[in-house]
Amino acid sequence: MRTQEQEFLEKADEELDKVNKFYATQEAELLARGDALIEQLRILADVKRILADHASRRGRAASMPPSLELSPSVNGSSGRHLLSSGLASPQSMSGR
């Protein structure tokens, strides 16, 4: 014999399960976004380090003989070659 109270509690449990699943999904999505942002920060730090290395080499290249200078594609690119070479592509930065 089922009482109204038992039926109510079963329905309440079903609704609670729905709410728990919804928030578990939301949490998983937010954690994935956080991981993607952390990866983007790592990529940006790497790009910053690479650009700083290139800038320091460019300063040294001015005092080197022309045969030892960096190639024009690296000297004149202002870091754009990083994107074209795939080191920092939008796909890699999105974490997907």
Q: Is the pLDDT confidence value at 64 over 60?
A: no
Task: Give the pLDDT score at 86.
Answer: 46
Q: Is the pLDDT confidence value at 94 over 60?
A: no
Q: Is the pLDDT confidence value at 48 over 90?
A: yes
Angle at 95 between CA 42 and CA 28, to 5 degrees: 110
Enter the pTM of the model.
0.49
Q: Is the pLDDT confidence value at 35 over 80?
A: yes
Taking alpha carbons only, the member of 54, 52, 35, 45 closest to residue 88 is 45
Q: Is the pLDDT confidence value at 38 over 50?
A: yes
Point out the least confidently predicted range of 21-25, 37-41, 92-96.
92-96
**CA dist., res. 36 & res. 93, Å (int):** 7
User: Once rounded to an integer, what is the mean pLDDT over residues 50-65?
Assistant: 81
